[in-house]
Structures are given as C-alpha cells and as structure tokens.
Structure 1
C-alpha cells in the first residue's frame, strides 16, 4: 500500500515530439500480412511515427525540450536534475540524461536514466515530486522517450504493427503553494517479465531461454491480462488515498498501448471512456512517451484545463505499474 505523497511540487511546462515520418496501416500491410481493418479493430492504431535511421532517443528528447521551451518560455539553466525514462538509450552509457545536459549546456544538473518501460514517465514524475518535496531539489526535468522501432522485429506481425517513436518533456518545480501531486501508487510483478522483454547480456530469465535476437518480445495476451486486472485496483487505491470520488477526476490518461486495453480498464474501473486521453491512434505505442503525448493532445484540444485533476497510469514490461493523481497547471 502506498502512502499519500507529500507534495511541494507542480508541473509547470510540457513539450512533446514525434518524428516526421508517418507509417500508415496500409504501409504496414506491405511489410507483414495484415490490413487496416484488422489493426484498427484490435488496437485502435491507424498510424505511427518512425524515427530516421540516424535519429535516436536523445534526438527525440532534445526536440521535446525545444517544444516545451517554445510553448512555455521555460528556463533550462537552473534545472538541477534531469531524469530520462527510457529503455532505448542511444548507447548503454553515457546516459541519455547526460546527452541532454550537454546539448543544452545545463551547468549544474544531476543526470540519470531510469527504466520502468511504459510506466517510466509516471515513475519519473513521482521521483521528481519526491526529490523536490524532500528539499533536495527545486527544478527537475522529466522526459519519457523511446525509439521502439529500433528494437522492433518487423517479421512479427503481432508486435510490429504496434510501435512508434516519440518523446515528452515536463518541468516539475518547487512551489510555496499547495503541491499538485495528490496521490501515488506503484507496484511490480517480476514474474511477468518473461511475457515482455528484450534479451541483453543474459540469454535466460527465471531459468527460461530468451529469444528475439535483441529485439522486443511480447506476449500480448498476458500483457492484456496484467493491465486489465492490475490497473483498476491501482485506480481504486489512488482514489482512496486522495479522498476524491471518481466523478472528481477530469481526465484519465493511461499508457496508450492499445485502445482495447484502455476500454477494458475504463469498463472495470467505472471511468467513462470519453474521459480517457490516449495517443496511440496516430502515434502508435511509444512506450514511455505515450502519456505525455496524450496529455499534450488533450491540452491542445481543450480537454485539459488548469485546475483539472488528472489520473495518470503507466504499465509495462517488468511487469511494473505506476499511477498518479495530479492537479494540472
């Protein structure tokens, strides 16, 4: 059971980026045996964005930060910590966060990558609030970014149709007013790791041989079961912790893995589907970037306004999951 977060922080800025190249379902049908109707019915995805061959996660992050600066006029030189949520770093090390720090010339920032796969952005926000509310930091740059097409097996028709590339950037800053982080709930089930993984130095997990040749491997049925059984319980815990009734939640922003998963979570949680914001329809599953992308779409469409209470929930490989209730603006 998670304790209600102490909060002296709020999210002050947001920016996003997706690559220019649009890959439609019709184009996917020329790569693998599939078609637009089959993909839309099962996933809700119509298009996805692919990074260029020479475009990596750090480039996606830099573009998202630049978008944030354009939108909000944010200062970067006083950032004191950079957290990048990704499982597709340009290189194992140096960290993507270090690449961001040096690109923008941020003079005195700690820099670290964290890997919570598709829940990474929510984990990053939670950590930023924790660091700031403890008094250790005052301004944290949180990024959720993945270049999933770099690790996609394009011979696997069940997974290659899902993924795209993208990034989101948020500033979390100290506030003397009431903090905006109202509830937090984290969890994990490592036994589920065998259902969604990418092999690395080890070629086995829990005594079972790993495959995929370094590409992403996913058992979609097991991921679905995990999400629709775990997330509704997490939502219940968040509401109990915050003392908010479900009707006070203005928008639900889950990881945009698959529209059918989101529909099932909404049904089991009692959340009206029209309150759900998702980004997979035209961007695909961008892992750690899906939630900031969906949030920015909601802001642009006027569906998210200052003062709104947002329920964010990420879930993915590990298995890991993380939820937050935050006040926007």
Structure 2
C-alpha cells in the first residue's frame, strides 16, 4: 500500500471591502477597460484597517475545518504560505494555531511568493508520506494591499487580499494513478530572475516593508513557458497526460497567462477554474481560494484530476497533480 495526502476539506475567506476597477480611475491614469483587457480583473477585495494576514488565514482555516468535519486538535501541523506576514516573527502559522485553540502539533510559514501554496502543499505531502503527521492544515493568505505603490498603475490594480485553506489527511492508496490525493509535484526556482518581481524593502536592507515592483512584460514571457513545463513534468511523474486532466486550477495572476498556459497544455478554458475577475492576484492565496470556490460552484468533484501551477517572485514556480 502507498501513503497518500488526500484533501479532506477546503475553505476560504475574502475581506468585506470589494474594490471595483472604477475606483482607481479617480487617482490613476487608468480605466476599467484598460485593466480588464490586460489582466481579466474586474474587482478585488482589500483587508480592512487593522485586519491582518493571520485574521484572514484563521477565517479560511475555520471554514476548511468545518468542511472537513474535524476540530483544530485533530491537526498535527499548520503550514501557511504568505509573503505578507503580520510581523517579522513569529510565523503566521503559530498565530493561526493560537487563534484556532490548537494546543498540539506545530506550525511554520513558507515564503515563495505566488508559488507559495504549491511549495506548502508539497511540504505537507512530504511530511505525511514520511509518517511525521497524519493531518495538516495548509493555508495561503495574503494582504498585498499593504505593499502596493498606489501611484504605480502597472501593479497596484492587479493585486488583492484573501485566504484559502485545505486540510490534507494521511490515507492509504493502491500506489496507482487512480489514487485520491497528491500524485506528483514539481518545484523550481532561479534567483537570476529576482528583479522581475520583488519588494524594494526588508528587515536587513531598508528596515521597511517596501513596495512591490514588477517587470510585467518580461515576467509574462517567463510565466507561460515555465508554468507549462512544470505542469508537464508533474503529469509525467504521475504517469498521466493532458487528456487525463479534469481541471487546471492555476495561480490567478492574469487571464492571458492562464489562457496561454492552458493552450500549450492542450486544455480548453472550460476546464480551467477561474476566479481572477473577482479576486485579482492574491498571490499565495489564489490557488486555495480557487480550489474552495471551485468546490463551492460544483465544478470540482470527487475523483477529478487537478493540476495546480504557479509562478512568483524569486523566480519560484511549481505544480502539483492531485486527484480530488
């Protein structure tokens, strides 16, 4: 028998404030049409004053636990993917652990920007397969509105805040590609591309949080190629092909990147879970948000084969193949 990390529950949370594209027209040389045609984004959510990443993460975590039908103390670990933590330390994961009333196990954060959830999911899978844990809560949560330069129309209109969570559980499988759970993962990074997407601040450099900076056109060219290759690699590791895929659940950065990747993978857009229009780019939160929304919509069903893929600052990119 083979140990698999199987999704038992999902959940998400979006802040109450909804910001339509038109809100930017008063302060920037931009328009709803300009934003929509270049990104596919129509609106996004921003955290309220005083609302932190751990607040969003905790709300998503509670929804996932309820969906899974388990209590916080049934968990062995909490892993949070984020680039916008409440504090330099301690980790957001330990804050969530406390907020849930979880008195056992451990928690830690993963920082791989937009690819963070894929990295966190892969780490959780490794812990389960190694026999270290039985159940892991994996969260992607961001408050990117805190690191936006509101004078830069090329970046500040693209990002939003939110959180998504999944509960992974150790189960026995047959060792075949028909098993439920994570079947394969593929991770990469290349620090030579760091200037394409970064924040110009930090503890040991400026002592400030800084603002997000991005070379959009250069990043776009890297994204489609790297997302396609990592998805192909993960499918190959799982012994599967494009025709086996029921749903692509991509990082929701830009509709043109999503469409370009789907085309190269030979998957039609009606088999892609899309939330970018309503959420914008929520970085590490975007894939778990899309997973939860996909289940809520009735798109993702038990037995479906999913491919998740993402690319973010670093550059860091990767993919996970799992059967729901």
TM range (shorter): over 0.9
User: What pairs up with 1:241-252 in 2 under 5 angstroms?
Assistant: 241-252=237-248
Matches within 5 A, 1:310-329: 310-328=306-324
Specify the alignment match of 1:279 in structure 2: 275
How is 1:267-306 mapped onto 2 (pairs within 5 angstroms)?
A: 267-306=263-302
What is the RMSD computed on CA atoms of the aligned residues? 1.6
- Map Cα deviations across residues 228-285 of structure 1 (whole Å, 9 max, x no partner): 1111111221222111121110000111000111111112222212211122111111
Contact 1:116 1:123 in 2 (8 A): yes
1:191 and 2:192 equivalent? yes
Q: Find 2:169's aligned residue among 170, 173, 180.
A: 173
Give the 5 Å matches for 1:121-200.
Answer: 121-178=117-174, 180-198=181-199, 199-200=201-202
Q: Which moved more, 1:261-270 or 1:9-18?
A: 261-270
Q: Is the 8 A contact 1:196 1:218 kept in 2?
A: yes
Structure 2: distance between partners of 1:132 and 1:32: 48
TM-score relative to the length of structure 1: 0.92
In 2, distance between residues paired with 1:184 and 1:70? Answer: 27
Pair 1:228-2:224 in alignment: yes
Q: CA separation in 2, counterparts of 1:309 and 1:144?
A: 21
Asked whether the equivalents of residues 62 and 100 of structure 2 are also in contact (C-alpha less than 8 Å), the reply is no
- Give the equivalent residue in structure 2 for 1:14: 10
Uncovered stretches (5+) of structure 2, i.e. residues with no partner: 175-179
Give yes or no for contact 2:97–2:107 (8 Å, CA) kept in 1: yes
Distance 1:140 1:67 in 2: 15
Partner residue, 1:26? 22
Aligned residues: 316
**SS of corresponding position for 1:59:** helix
Equivalent-residue separation in structure 2 for 1:62 and 1:213 (angstroms): 23
Partner SS state of residue 221, structure 2: helix
TM-score, normalised to structure 2's length? 0.94
Partner of residue 97, structure 1: 93
8 A Cα contact 1:138 1:173, kept in partner: yes
Instruction: Answer whether contact 1:7 1:129 (CA < 8 A) is retained.
Output: no
Q: Which residue does the alignment assign to 1:207?
A: none
Q: Which secondary structure state, in structure 2, belongs to the residue aligned with residue 159 of structure 1?
A: coil
* Alpha-carbon contact 2:13-2:164 (below 8 Å) kept: yes
State whether residues 165 and 289 of structure 2, in contact with CA within 8 Å, keep that contact through their aligned partners in structure 1.
no
Q: 1:119 to 1:136 in 2, by over 3 A?
A: same
SS of residue matched to 1:37? helix
**Offset at 1:202?**
4.8
Moved more, 319-328 or 176-185: 176-185
Task: In structure 1, list runs of 5 or more residues that go unmatched.
Answer: 1-5, 204-209
Residue of structure 1 in register with 2:39 after alignment: 43
Alignment-derived partner of residue 103 in structure 2: 107
- The worse-fitting range, judged by mean Cα deviation, of 99-108 and 40-49 is 99-108
SS of residue paired to 1:8: strand
